[in-house]
Structures are given as structure tokens and as C-alpha cells.
Amino acid sequence: MAQRSEITVDESAARACMAALRRALPPDTLLTDPDTLRTYECDALSAYRRLPLAVALPHDREQVRTILRITREHGVPVVPRGAGTGLSGGALPHPRGVLLSLARLNRILAIDPRNRTARVEPGVRNLAVSEAARPYGLHYAPDPSSQVACTIGGNIAENAGGVHCLKYGLTVHNVLRIEALTADGETLVAGGGGLDGPGYDLAAVLTGSEGLLAVVVEATVRLLPLPQCARVLLAAFERVEDAAAAVAAVIAGGIVPAGLEMMDNAAVRAAEDFVHAGYPTDAAAILLCELDGTEAEVEAGIARVRALLAEHGATEVRLARDEAERERFWKGRKAAFPAVGRLSPDYYCMDGTIPRREIGRVLTRIAELAREHGLPVVNVLHAGDGNLHPLILYDANRPGELERTERLGHRILEACIEAGGTVTGEHGVGVEKLDPMCRQFDEATLRQFHALREAFDPRRLLNPGKAVPTLARCAEHRAMHVRGGRLPFPELERF
């Protein structure tokens, strides 16, 4: 089974491929000028940069098919790319490959209010779907933080989540049908016009496959009615452990919040300094708990959550009085990453998920590890689903600090695995977490992943070197770091 090394491409094959692409495509579809290529050298994990052989910007699916057929013929790798907002290097170019941007396939093909679906091309932005659906009282539920820029195709590749996914599901729960092209240019339809399709559930396995199995050229997504009302509670705690216990109590209390977020003191202070959300800066941790639904349902739920928070040691519980205050409470949370970015020249964002009951213990462990490594860590959590985003603050210009940061990062991910968790909740493996993947999965399971991939793409030309480590590669260490205190797309909310 699959344990060959990743793809190699010789110079002459690459040249022949370029010539064939040039012949087959209109001139504006193939970019090879080094200065232009530089725009595509990385995604939002900017620590990794590479120039591709060329960038292809097809206008339609037939051009995508042409590109795939030509690249296959010459054995040249293809790296699909949406908006390039991914945080794990999934769209990092291959030095001997074609970067396939789906950005021009950006039409909303149909909004079907009777069936509550939207049929879109892969380059349509996430938020654009909800905007198009709003006149019908509908919306697309998955709302990753980069939703103003990120695309549906990228969301499918990464199985994107968002603040509301505990209640409304991830991308995999909200995509009904996918049309994709396989590495040899064949059309593949997964799912169906109803709620399922015939045969294996290929829509499930394509979602989150990080562009290794097929290139999405069209998707039909589910639209949900906009909730009648949404309200948010802010609770302050004197101890992080109490906040963690309160999270578990809310969920155990039979409540499924639309959002349940947590920030530690450092994150609260940074956010408050930055956007003046009205947060209590002396709290060890705060929780934001949003409920949505009918007026009656939300009112009853808010009363129960209030009581549970008080029971678990909340020193203060505030209900946003109006929409303006609700937005302010959220603004602080959504600005947490850029706010932390102001505290330090660089930061490194982690993305582990752990069982909710482990939140208190793992946060304590992270604090210990941070002291041990002499680096501050700020914690921002999608607490409702146990998804941690610890941010390690460092200065890449200080000798040895980057290496120390990477060591600390890996220790934090190890702590997540030890707590029964996973090394990536929503950012994907990409090139960043190939090494931690080796710790999470045994050899037989990794081999099975490779075999599954080869069932779709026997020559392993789609996004090689990403998502699933070769066994040989398991020793490598990778890490994400933020240069100059900023992520690419600094204007995007990160949460």
C-alpha cells in the first residue's frame, strides 16, 4: 500500500506541461510572471512560502478540466486554492506544480427558497451566500471568522466551522451536493438534490479532504431560516476553572447554545484595550453565551443559563440589553486575535480540541508549560465545542525564541491529544500539523488514509505533501508563526 515518497517532477515534464497549458488556455488564464506569482506564494500561514510553476485562473469548469487533464498527462501536481485564508498552509504552492485558483468560478447559480438551498460555484464567498439568501429569510449557517473573504470551495476543503457550529453543524452538515472533478478530469457527483445520494457518502469524505481527493466545481448548500431572535450573556469568573466548569454545566443542563465562547484574563484585557467592548478586565476569565430561537424559547433559556452561571461561581452575569450591546460583546471576542497581535511582535496560533470537561485542566497545563518555556500564552476558546486557540506570544528576532515557541506549541498539542483531543479542530492539517498527525494516528490508520486518497487520485497529483503525512515524513516538525504580529488579511476577524 501507499508508502511511496511524494511526487517528483523533472524539469522537462514541467516545461512540456507549461507549453501545453499555454496552448490550451486563453492568455489571461495562466500566470507565470514571478512578480505575479508572488501573490500566491502562501495562504494565511505565511511562515511557509513557495513559488509555483504557474498560477491557473480558469473561468469555468471546462477550463478546470482542461488544466487537470494536461497536468495529469505530464505528471505535474495541482494545488487548489480558494481565497487563501487558510491557517494551516493547505494552499501552499508546490514548487513544480500548478496553483489552481478557483477564484473566478464565483457565481451564485441559484437560490432556491422553496427547497432552501443555494447552488454556487466554489469561488463564491461564504458571506455572499447568506447575503443572497437573506431576502428570503434564510441564511447559510457555517460562519468561519474569515467569512467575508473565504470561499465555499475552501470551506468544503477544510470542513470549516465557526461560532455557531455546535448548534448548526460544520460545513459537512450543511452541504447537500458536491460536483467535483477528479485528478483525471472526470466529473464526480456526491450527495444529491434531496438530503442524500446513492452509494457511498462521498460528500462526507470530500468535505475536509484539504484538496487531496478532487477539485470542487459546484456545491449545493442547505439554507436555514434566520432565527427569530438572538441574545447574549456575558459572565465573569474569578477562576478559570470555574468558567470551564460553567461551560460543562450549561451543556449538561440540556442547553445547546448558538455560541459559547471563553477568553482568559490576558485576552479580555487585550480585547478591552483594543475595542472597548465593556468587558470586566479584572475577571480571570469571561464567557459569552448566545442563545437563539423563538422569543419564548430564548427567554426561558436565558433564565436557565443565568442560574447555571451563578451556581458555578460567576461573579457577574450581564445580558446584552439591546442589539448594539450584543454586537459590542461579540466585537471584543472577534477582535481578540488582532488585539493580542498588539501585545507582541509575533504570535503563534494553536487549534486543538479537547473534551469540555478537560478545559480547566488543560488550561492549567498550558500555563505550566508557558512558564516552563518562558513564553506568555493567551487563551481564546470556542468553549462550547472544546476548541482551544492558545496564542503563544514571542519575538522572532530574539535568537532561539521561535524554536522555543515551536517546542511549546508541540507540547500544547501533545497535552490536547493526552486529554483525548485532536491536533486540529477547524484549521486543518495542511503542512503545519503533519508531525502532530503522526502522534494522533497509528501507522495502519495513516496507511488507510493514503489508500483512500489513491482510490480517488492514484498518481497523487492533487495537493501532494499536505494533510496526511507520509510515514517517512512523520519525524518532521512544522509550526505556524505570525510575522510582525500580523496574520495576512489583518483586516479579518479571527476567532
Q: Of residues 282-301, which lie at the interface with another protein (CB under 8 A)?
A: 293-294, 296-297, 299-301
Q: What's the min distance (Å) between Cβ of 230 and another protein? A: 11
Please tell me the distance from the alpha carbon of residue 354 to that of residue 96, in angstroms, as a whole number: 38
Q: Look at residue 360 and give its three-state secondary structure.
A: helix
Cβ-based nearer residue to another protein, 172 or 277: 172
Binding string, residues 212-251; x marks residues near another protein by CB under 8 A:
xx-----------xxxx-------------------xx-x
Q: What's the min distance (Å) between Cβ of 108 and another protein? A: 17
462 secondary structure, DSSP code: B
Site for another protein contains 116 (CB under 8 A): yes
Q: What residues contact residue 212 under an 8 Å CB cut-off, 6+ apart?
A: 453, 456, 457, 462, 463, 466, 467, 468
Site for another protein contains 453 (CB under 8 A): yes
Q: What's the min distance (Å) between Cβ of 183 and another protein? A: 12
Which residues are 98's β-sheet partners? 54, 78
Cβ-based nearer residue to another protein, 196 or 372: 196
Q: Which residues between 391 and 450 bind another protein (CB under 8 A)?
A: 420-429, 433, 437, 440-442, 444-445, 448-449
How many residues does this entry show for the chain?
Answer: 495
Binding string, residues 81-110; x marks residues near another protein by CB under 8 A:
------------------------------
Please tell me the distance from the alpha carbon of residue 472 to that of residue 463, in angstroms, as a whole number: 18
Which range of residues in 63-71, 93-101, 142-150, 168-176 is near another protein by CB under 8 A? Answer: 168-176
Q: Which residues between 117 and 156 bind another protein (CB under 8 A)?
A: 117, 136-138
Q: What's the min distance (Å) between Cβ of 182 and another protein? A: 8
Binding string, residues 63-82; x marks residues near another protein by CB under 8 A:
--------------------
Residue 100 CB neighbours (<10 A): 25
Site for another protein contains 166 (CB under 8 A): yes
Site for another protein contains 173 (CB under 8 A): yes
From start to end of 211-258, where are the E strands?
A: 215-222, 224-225, 229-237
Query: Could you say which of 6, 10, 131, 196 contacts another protein (CB under 8 A)?
Result: 196
Backbone angles phi, psi at 76, to 5 degrees: -100, 130
Residue 162: which of 489, 385, 467 has the closest Cα?
385
Please tell me the distance from the alpha carbon of residue 377 to that of residue 340, in angstroms, as a whole number: 10
Site for another protein contains 186 (CB under 8 A): yes
Please tell me the distance from the alpha carbon of residue 46 to that of residue 427, in angstroms, as a whole number: 14
Site for another protein contains 113 (CB under 8 A): yes
Q: Which residues between 15 and 74 bind another protein (CB under 8 A)?
A: none
Q: Which residues between 246 and 275 bind another protein (CB under 8 A)?
A: 248-249, 251-252, 254-256
Q: Which residues between 335 and 354 bind another protein (CB under 8 A)?
A: 353-354
CA dist list (Å): 239 to 21, 66, 258, 264, 315: 60, 59, 24, 9, 10
Site for another protein contains 309 (CB under 8 A): no
Rg of the chain over Cα atoms, rounded to whole angstroms, equals 23
Q: What residues contact residue 168 under an 8 Å CB cut-off, 6+ apart?
A: 141, 142, 174, 224, 258
Cβ-based nearer residue to another protein, 315 or 448: 448
C-alpha cell at position 452: 483512500
Residue 275: which of 263, 291, 284 has the closest Cα?
263
Which range of residues in 307-315, 319-327, 380-388, 475-483 is near another protein by CB under 8 A? Answer: 380-388
Q: What residues contact residue 230 under an 8 Å CB cut-off, 6+ apart?
A: 258, 290, 291, 292, 298, 326
Site for another protein contains 455 (CB under 8 A): yes
